[in-house]
Chains A and B, each alone.
Chain A
Amino acid sequence: MTTAPASAPSMPGPLALLRDVRVLAVIGQIVFVLAVLIVIGVLVSNAYSGLAKAGLVPSFSFLNLESSFQIDEGLVSSPHTSSDTFLHAFGVGLVNTLRTVIVGLIGATLLGLFLGIGRLSNNWLLRNLSRSYIEIFQNTPLLVQLIFIYSGLFLRLPDLADITANAPADVRALTGPFWISNKGFAMPALWPTGGVTAWTIAVALGGAAAAVIYLQRRKRRIETGQQTYALQVAALVLIGTLALATLIFGPYTISLPTVIRRSARIVRFDSTLGVIVSPEYVALTLGLILYTAAFIAEVVRAGIQSVPNGQWEAARALGLNGGQTLRLIVLPQALRVMFPPLTNLYSALLKNSALGAYIGFSDLFGVGRTIQLQSGQSIPVTLIVMAIYLFLTLIISYGMNLLNARFQFRTR
């Protein structure tokens, strides 16, 4: 055995740095950033030069130009005409999207709740009916459903000219409370008169009084066990105030929808009277509700099934029947599990509302497409539309997160 002379260990050379994980990580990221920047840079510059060659230099100045198209539905107070700006058109499109999405969310949640509970019902008919509905509406694309509802159902409704065919030929305007046609659904509108402020104050006071009465009576019932008919008395007070206030102040006049007849075949609604809902709007909202409800139903079912069986048994032992158990015990606990998938479904409903453009509804996406064609500015319009959808999705996620936090377990 030879003993080599002991020598001090040499300092690691610069190459050893490359074996350090932290150095590698930093180098890796720098390479990644450079690669991404180069790729994006090439793509963007290609796109820009291509667009410039086609004469479509992106800029945002078009927003103040006059749009040369009009939108038939949207804000009642300021309908979009061809002399309004593109910016106004975007606003109207956004309003239309919100109209659809808000009604769609409420309707889909209610229908989905109903279907999800029915899926677990003891009744064989209800259970299998819910199951068939869910399977059918989950497994067909939304676009097919929308087109079917719109062109297969709503466009087949009777024509206004046919509905009014029996009226005498010289009658130019026909009024009626309800109209169902392929140009839309019309119903009476309520127009506020001078007495509406006083009426609102009276009803608000009555509502506050009813709430106070309800809380007081409920407190007395909980403490003494006496039946004080809290809900009934409060409802009576509220309804009484409503009736009295309406009689005294007369806040609203009814405006009945009217149909104007230019000739035997040219018949259209008078858009200043009554409430006219377009078939596109109803088709889109109905389609969104029916489609999303099928998915919400599955989420509700999963949520209810996640509540332990012991809860049901304990509720039964305490004397609650099925409906009370569901409402007071099971659903609040089920909500905890339901929130994350519900957030996804609500965002999906918002994004699916863009399909309305295919059936002619002037939602944000449809208006964006028209503006693209009119102004030629594809990139800025796309950016605006994407940004608005991102913003709306953020709002939905944020709101649902707040609700979610409220329903979580509070553990010590």
Chain B
Amino acid sequence: MAHDMRSAPQTGADPDEVQRPITDRGVLAWLRRNLFRSRVDGLITIIVGAILLWFLAGILGWIIGEARWAVVTENLSTLMRGIYPQEQIGRVTLSVMLIVGLTGLSWGTWGRRFTQIGAVFLTVAVVLIAAPALQAGGASAGQGAPNTLAAYLNTQLLPLLAVLREPVFTLIIVLAIGAAAGALVRRVNYVLISRTLVIIWFAAIPVVLILIRGLNPETPLVPLVPSNLWGGLLLTFMLAFVASVFCFPLGVGLALGRVSGGSARRGEKGLRGWWRAQGNYPVIKLFCTLYIEFFRGIPLVTVLFTANILVGFALGNAEIDSVVRAMIALTLFEAAYVAEIVRGGLQAVPKGQAEAARALGLNPVQATLLITLPQALRVVIPSLVGQFITLFKDTSLVAIVGLLDLIGIGQSVITRGEYAGTQREMYTFVALVYFVICFVMSVAARQLERSGSGRIAAR
């Protein structure tokens, strides 16, 4: 321990034994610095703390004591996958394992070792393991009076945890295995595993689509499961998945169209300057600009409604499934936002890159595809991930057009007679599911930002 120069050592006493005053070290020091820095600060801490404790006590009391979680426990499979045929469930499970495994692999290869997420997963796993122990203890005590805490725990909360235990546990294990595998292979050959992983992700898209949807009713392994049978969280995922996959190239194309053009020469004003800024493709630029500004100015619900009415008519009176109509609406809508983000990235790439590419003999298409676009995309990866999180949340709006996604199914479950008045429980569960998924994605986005992908590499 270092010498404490502020207190003079007594004669004969060992200077190393002198310590700071009690209020200046350890817990008390932390309290003074962080919670009670001044009188006003201390007052704020006390008041806010009191309100917070009262609030938390109320919520915790509700969760453990009064909430009727049976509405979630008994309908979990409907909430998760709608009316997907029971005998084909294995395909859904397989695709979920595939995606989770890939995510774990990516985390192990590209991510940081220990994060808050790892701690959260660990906590969840521990809670789920510990839950049956509680149940075993309380089973004997709760048979009598129906109003005791043990009785509530047994009939409401613990069954919910028990039902969630297997799937969540399996998911966490698959994730952990993938992360470990990724970390191992990364040591062997980072470049190879990086490139292979990207290719595998791209290949996973059609694989998952085929697994979930199937081909036609006669195919042996993967018969057709039409999209009107998808529901719940499965439908939410499929909507977000398909919309992300298709809105991305469309958005990039729109951004390239909008950015095409030059700028007015210095001192050039008026019509001449404006014409020069239009560049080589004024019509395409106008079209892209109108498209982007139009779709960014109207609410998503109007697009969903219009698509619902018009898509069937517009494609020659065909019977287009309502899920496909929602996918089309989501794709067209989100493409405008992706276009704006990518446009920002394109404008951040120094002009010298394009000039150097042309000087090296690449034609404009090659210059854009090989030089400008990869740099632009690398800069805006964090914003793009943020946009995909928003897309995932926006899929919840299809409940307004009557599709049975997670919210829609939740709504239809609680209107049944035996579950009257369980809105809070159902929507807390729905909110929790969304929160877990979006929170994980946002932590990933923040890590990406910190790892430097949000900057052009300095030369």
By a beta-carbon cutoff of 8 Å, the part of chain A in contact with chain B is: 21-22, 25, 28-29, 32-33, 36, 43-44, 46-47, 50-51, 53, 122-126, 129, 135-136, 138-145, 147-148, 151-152, 155, 347, 351-352, 354-355, 357-358, 365, 369, 378-379, 382, 385-386, 389-390, 393-394
Given A47-B310, A141-B393, A147-B423, answer yes or no on A29-B283 (Cβ-Cβ < 8 Å).
Answer: yes
Select from chain A the residue with minimum beta-carbon distance to B337: A344
Instruction: Judge whether A122 and B427 touch: CB under 8 Å.
Output: no
> B396 at the A/B interface (Cβ < 8 Å)?
yes
Segment at the interface with A among B135-143, B209-217, B299-307? B299-307
CB distance from B72 to the nearest CB of A (A): 14
Flag whether B205 is at the interface (Cβ < 8 A).
no
B309 within 8 A of A: yes
Partner of A125, one of B35, B296, B317, B434: B35
Chain A residue numbers with a CB within 8 Å of B45 are 123, 125
What separation, in Å, do the CA atoms of A123 and B33 have in the docked complex? 8
A147 to chain B, nearest CB (A): 6
- Once the chains are docked, how many angstroms separate the CA of A148 from the CA of B432? 12
B77 at the interface (CB under 8 A from A): no
Query: Given A129-B48, A139-B439, A139-B442, is A148 in contact with B281 using a C-beta cutoff of 8 Å?
Result: no
Q: Does B430 contact A (CB under 8 A)?
A: yes
Assess whether A126 is in contact with B434, with CB atoms less than 8 Å apart: no
Is B313 an interface position by the 8 A CB rule?
Answer: yes
Cβ B305 vs Cβ A352 within 8 A: no
Contact across chains for A126 and B302 when beta carbons are under 8 A apart = no
The listed residue (A28, A148, A155, A347) touching B431 by CB distance below 8 A is: A148
By beta carbon, the residue of chain A nearest B306 is A382
A123 near B34: Cβ-Cβ < 8 Å:
yes
Q: Does B297 lie within 8 Å of A357, measured CB to CB?
A: no
- Distance, CA A44 to CA B52, complexed state (A): 57
Having A46-B314, A125-B44, A142-B393, one finds 6 other A-B pairs with CB under 8 Å, namely A29-B284, A122-B41, A141-B396, A143-B396, A351-B300, A354-B302
Pick the residue among B49, B283, B299, B302 that contacts A33 (CB under 8 A). Answer: B283
Q: A29-B284, A144-B431, A351-B300 are in contact. Are A357 and B400 (CB under 8 A)?
A: yes
Q: Which of B297, B315, B394 has the most CB of A within 10 A?
A: B297
Q: Are A50 and B317 in contact (CB under 8 A)?
A: yes
Q: Contact at B41–A355, with CB atoms within 8 Å?
A: no
Residue among B44, B305, B411 with max Cβ neighbours from chain A (10 Å): B305
- Asked if B282 and A29 make an inter-chain contact with CB atoms under 8 angstroms apart, the answer reads yes
A143 pairs with B306, CB closer than 8 A = no
Give 16 pairs: A residue, B residue, CB < 8 Å, sorted on A. A32-B287, A33-B283, A44-B314, A46-B314, A51-B313, A53-B317, A122-B37, A124-B34, A135-B439, A138-B442, A140-B393, A141-B394, A143-B407, A144-B430, A354-B299, A389-B299
Q: Mark B199-239, 1 if CB is under 8 A from A, else 0.
A: 00000000000000000000000000000000000000000
Q: Which of B387-413 contact A (CB under 8 A)?
A: 389, 393-394, 396-397, 399-400, 407, 411
Residue A46 contacts which of B280, B300, B317 (CB distance < 8 angstroms)?
A: B317
Asked if A357 and B301 sit within 8 Å, CB to CB, the answer is: yes
B435: Cβ under 8 A from any A Cβ: yes
Within 8 Å by CB of B44, from A33, A36, A47, A126, lies A126
Instruction: Give the distance in Å from the alpha carbon of A386 to the alpha carbon of B295 in the complex.
Output: 10
Quote the shortest CB–CB distance from A220 to chain B (angstroms).
Answer: 32
Q: Indicate if the CB atoms of B297 and A140 lie closer than 8 Å.
A: no
Residues of A close to B34: CB separation below 8 A:
122-124
Out of A138, A355, A394, which one reaches B301, CB within 8 Å? A355
